[in-house]
Amino acid sequence: MPKGTNQKMKLYRLAKIMIPRGYNTVPADEEAKKKFEENNYSRALTDVVKAQDILNSNIPFISKDIYDAYSDILVDCKTQLNVFEERWNKGFIGHKFGESTLEHEDYKRTGTINEKFEKINILLRDYISSLDVLD
């Protein structure tokens, strides 16, 4: 398994938990829900930074198309973080402070992230199978 693969999958799982594409359960109690969401956001933020560091440390070892594909996913994940964070930002005019509403495109982006991961897995399989192994 390529270095950082677990981190990338963790990143997707947290993006999916923060802004799910389909059915999702959250605590009914508002305070517990807020704590749950803050925890998911914090973990996702940490994982985005780790994934970015892993990607950047592997630049010399991966092809440009694979690097660009991972970089594109990171952009989407950062967008998800920003959307999630802006819901509680008093200075952001797009939503009312404290509202937990998300746009349809935010949920759709979570699915897009998953689709992009699936395409990268195909690229990686093709790349790995193209390598010559020295005995």
Lowest mean pLDDT among 8-12, 33-37, 84-88: 8-12
Residue 111 lies in a domain: yes
Mean pLDDT within 48-52: 89
Residue 27 lies in a domain: yes
Residue 50 lies in a domain: yes
Q: Give yes or no for residue 1 having a pLDDT over 60.
A: no
pTM of the complete model: 0.72
pLDDT digit string (tens) for 51-104?
Answer: 899 999 999 988 899 899 999 999 998 998 888 887 766 555 554 444 556 788
Residue 41 lies in a domain: yes
Residue 135 lies in a domain: no
pLDDT digit string (tens) for 37-46?
Answer: 788 888 888 8
Long-range contacts from 19-23, C-beta under 8 angstroms, 24+ separation: 19/80, 19/83, 19/84, 19/102, 19/106, 19/107, 19/109, 19/110, 20/107, 20/110, 21/107, 21/108, 21/110, 21/111, 21/114
Domain extent, residue 60, equals 5-130
Residue 46 lies in a domain: yes
Domains in the chain, number: 1
